[in-house]
Amino acid sequence: MQGLMMDTPLLISAVIDYAAAVHGETRITSRTVEGDIHRYTYRAAHQRIQQLAHALKNLGINTADRVATLAWNSHRHFELYYGISGIGAVCHTINPRLFTEQIVYIINHAEDRYICVDLSFVPLLEQIAGRLPRVEGYIILTDRAHMPVTSLPNVLCYEELLQDQPQQFDWPVFDERTACSLCYTSGTTGNPKGVLYSHRSSLLHSLTLLTTGDRSLGPDTVMLPVVPLFHVNAWGLPYALPVVGGSFVFPGPKLDGASLYEMIEQEGVTHAWGVPTVWLGLLQEVKRRQARFSTLRSMIIGGSAAPRSLIETLENDYGMDVIHGWGMTEMSPVGSTSILSPAMRRLPKKKQHDIKVKQGRALFGVELKIVDAKGQRLPHDGKAFGELLVRGPTITSGYYNDPQANENAFDAEGWFRTGDVSTIDEHGFLQIVDRTKDVIKSGGEWISSIDLENAAMGHPGVAEAAVIGVPHPKWGERPLLVVMRTSPQAVNAEQLHEYLSDKVAKWWLPDAIEFVEELPHTATGKLLKTELRKRYKDYQLPTLEN
Ligand code: AMP
C-alpha cells in the first residue's frame, strides 16, 4: 500500500524561496573581486536570483544545459548556484586551480554553453577560449564600470544582464532526480571525472548535514566558508545554511591568513569551514600578531587529515571547538563529522582530541564498510583497516559520461570505492589511514603515511610534512619524510627523528628525512604524492640495520 502523502519534488529553488520568506533579513556579506565589501540579505539575493533566472532563459538556456562558473566565493557565485539550477539547468563549478589542460578538458567534456567568470580568471579563459568550440559566450561577473578589455568572444556583463529583469520568476517544477550541478574530481592521474548531483541528492545532503548536531549550522551563525564554491559545493554549505537562516561572510579572492583574520574580526564571524592548510596559515598570522579571536568559536576542518597539533592549538590556546570532517566530491561531499556525544564531551580534553583526530561518524544515510583485499568485510573494532566503501542517496552512482572511470569504481554490491584506507571503531568513528595508493608496505605490514605526517607536524619547526614509501631491498618499502620547515634553523633531521621516536612505533620511524622549500599540492590543496614519488624515485635510503 502506498502512503497518501504529496509527492512534492525536492528542488533547490525551494531552499532559496524558503530562506527569503523565513530568514529574509539575514545578511550575506562578501568581499568582491573588485575589492569592496558587498552586503545584502537573503531577500535581496532571492530577487537577484530570480532576475538571473530570467536572464538565463533569455539567453536560451534550457533544462539540462550546462552553465559553468569560474569564480571565488562571493554573493554572485552564490546567486549562480540557485539561478542556474533553479531553471533546471546544470551549474558546473570549475576549479581554477586545475591544470589548464584539465580545465579545457572538463569544459569540453561538460559541453558548457556559457561560462560565468570572475575578473581574476578572464586571462585564464583568454588563453584557452580558442579550444572551447561549444562555449557560446562568457558572462563576466562584474558591473559595466569594471568590464575588462578582453579578447574573449561574446562577452556579457553580469550586472547588466540582471538589470531590468523582473524580480519574480515562476520556478519550473520537475523530477527531483534532475541534475542540478556538476563538479569534476581532480585525480592525480588521468582526466578529471565528473560527478553529477541531482536536486534530490543535494537537498538530502543539506538536510542530513543539518542533523549532525554541528552547531555551526544554526540561525546565530556568521559563517565564513573558506571551502570554495568552485569545488565540492563548498561542502554543501550554500544549500544547508540558508535553510536554518545562518549568515554568510564570503571571503572573495583573499584567502591568506591576514585577510581572513581581518574578515573574521570585522564581520564578527562565529564559525568557519576549510582545509587544514588554510587554518595553519591563519594560525601563523594570529601568532605573529599575538592576537585573539573575538567572535570565532568553531571550525570545521576537512579535505585532508587535520593534524592533532592543529586541533590542540585551536582548542587549547584559542578556545575553539574543532570538528573534523571527511568526504569526497563523489559524496556531495560530506561523509562523516567528528561530533562528540555528550559522554565524550565530558572526557578530559586530551581524550577528546584522541577522538577528534579521527574523521568522525557517518552522516545519516551514509553507509560505510571496510573490506580486505578479497572484498570481505572487516570488523569495526578500531584496529582492522581496509578499503573504505560507501553507499547512500547522496553518493554518486556513476561518473558523468565516463564508462572507463566507472569500470572499477563500484564493488559487486554497488558500493562506491572511496580509494581511502580506514579503520572504523566500535562507536562508528572512522579513521583514514591513507589513500590506497599511498600506504607504505614495509615487510608486509602497513605504515600510515597520514599518521606519520601528523606526528611530524606536531613539531613546532615543521610547517608541512609528507611521507612516501621508497623502495628498500629488504623491506620492500620504507618511509621517507619530506618536510617544509617554518625556517631553515627550526629543526634538523636528527632532532626531528628524536622528536618522533616516542610518537610512533619504532619500525614506523622514517629511514630518512629530506627538507624542501615547498611541498607540491593538487588543485584542491592535497599533498601531491605522485609528484613526490617521481622526484624521489631513485632515492637511496641510508643503510640502517632495520
Ligand atoms: P575531494 O574529492 O577533492 O574532496 O577529495 C576526497 C579525498 O580527500 C578523500 O577520498 C580523502 O582521501 C581525502 N580527505 C578528505 N577529507 C579528509 C580528512 N578529514 N582526512 C583525511 N583525508 C581526507
- Residue 322 CB less than 6 A away from ligand 1: no
Residues 119 and 187: their CA atoms lie apart, in Å, by 27
Q: Is the CB of 360 under 6 A from ligand 1?
A: no
Q: Is 275 in the pocket of ligand 1 (CB under 6 A)?
A: no
State the DSSP string of 50-82: HHHHHHHHHTT--TT-EEEEE--BSHHHHHHHH
Is 481 in a helix, a strand, or coil?
strand
C-alpha dihedral sign at 289, 290, 296, 300:
positive
Distance 185 CA to ligand 1 centre (A): 11
Determine the pLDDT at residue 545: 46
Write the residue with the smallest CA distance to atom 20 of ligand 1.
305
pTM: 0.93
Average pLDDT value for residue range 409-416: 96
Q: For cell 579563459, what's the residue?
A: 125
Res. 168: pLDDT tops 50: yes
Is the CB of residue 344 less than 8 Å from the CB of residue 355? yes
- SS3 for 355-388, per residue? HHCCCEEECCCCEEEEECCCCCECCCCCCCCEEE
327 C-alpha to center of ligand 1: Å?
6
CA of 335 to the centre of ligand 1 (A): 10
Instruction: Express each pLDDT in 233-251 by its tens digit.
Output: 999 999 999 999 999 999 9
Q: How far is the CA of 468 from the centre of ligand 1 (A)?
A: 17
Question: Is residue 382 predicted with pLDDT exceeding 50?
Answer: yes
Query: Over 50: is that where the pLDDT of 407 sits?
Result: yes
| For ligand 1, mutation pick of 420, 430, 451 (most atoms within 8 Å of CB) | 420
Give the dihedral sign, CA 176/180/182/183: negative
* Pocket lining: 418 vs ligand 1, CB cutoff 6 Å: yes
Give me the active site residues, please: 185, 330, 441, 446
pLDDT of residue 189: 67
Ligand 1 contact via 304 beta carbon (within 6 Å):
yes
Reply yes or no on whether the pLDDT at 544 is more than 80.
Answer: no
The residue whose CA has the least distance to atom 7 of ligand 1 is: 328
Residue nearest atom 23 of ligand 1, based on CA coordinates = 304
pLDDT of residue 546: 42
The type of residue at 457 is M
- Whether ligand 1 lies within 6 angstroms of the CB of 422 is answered as no
Q: At what angle do helices 237-244 and 75-86 cross, to 10 degrees?
A: 90
Contacts of 104 (CB under 8 A, 6+ apart): 128, 131, 132
Question: Dihedral of the CA atoms 198, 193, 407, 411 (nearest 10)?
Answer: -60
Pocket lining: 125 vs ligand 1, CB cutoff 6 Å: no
Q: How confident is the model at residue 186 (pLDDT cuts 50, 70, 90)?
A: confident
Residue 256 φ/ψ, nearest 5 degrees: -75, 160
Mean pLDDT, to the nearest integer, of 7-29?
Answer: 98
Q: Which pLDDT score, from 0 to 100, does residue 188 have? A: 62
CA of 475 to the centre of ligand 1 (A): 28
Which atom number of ligand 1 is nearest to the Cα of residue 526? 8
Closest C-alpha to ligand 1, atom 8: 303
- Report the percent of the chain where pLDDT is more than 70: 99
Is the shortest distance between the CB of 324 and ligand 1 below 6 Å? yes
Residue from 229, 308, 326 to probe ligand 1 pocket by mutation (most atoms less than 8 Å from CB):
326
Categorize the per-residue pLDDT at 187 as very low, low, confident or very high, splitting at 50, 70 and 90.
low
The confidence score (pLDDT) of residue 476 equals 87
User: Is the bond preceding residue 333 a cis peptide, omega within 30 degrees?
Assistant: yes
DSSP 413: T
To test the pocket of ligand 1, the residue of 526, 527, 530 to mutate (highest count of ligand atoms within 8 Å of its CB) is 526
Q: Which of 416, 542, 523, 406 is nearest to 470 (CA)?
A: 542
**Which residue, judged by its Cα, is nearest atom 15 of ligand 1?**
303
Q: Ligand 1: distance of its center to the CA of 449 in Å?
A: 14
Q: Is 449 in the pocket of ligand 1 (CB under 6 A)?
A: no
Pocket test for ligand 1, best of 233, 275, 304, 359 (most atoms within 8 A of CB): 304
Q: How far is the CA of 304 from the centre of ligand 1 (A)?
A: 5
Does residue 446 surpass a pLDDT of 90? no
- Mean pLDDT estimate for the chain: 95
Residue nearest to atom 9 of ligand 1 (CA): 328
Spell 98-111 as b/e; 16+ CB within 10 A means b. Answer: beeebbbbbbebbe
List the single range of 213-227, 488-502, 514-528 with lowest mean pLDDT: 514-528
Cα–Cα distance, 470 to 283 (Å, whole number): 33
**Closest among 186, 173, 174, 262 to 224, alpha carbons compared:** 262
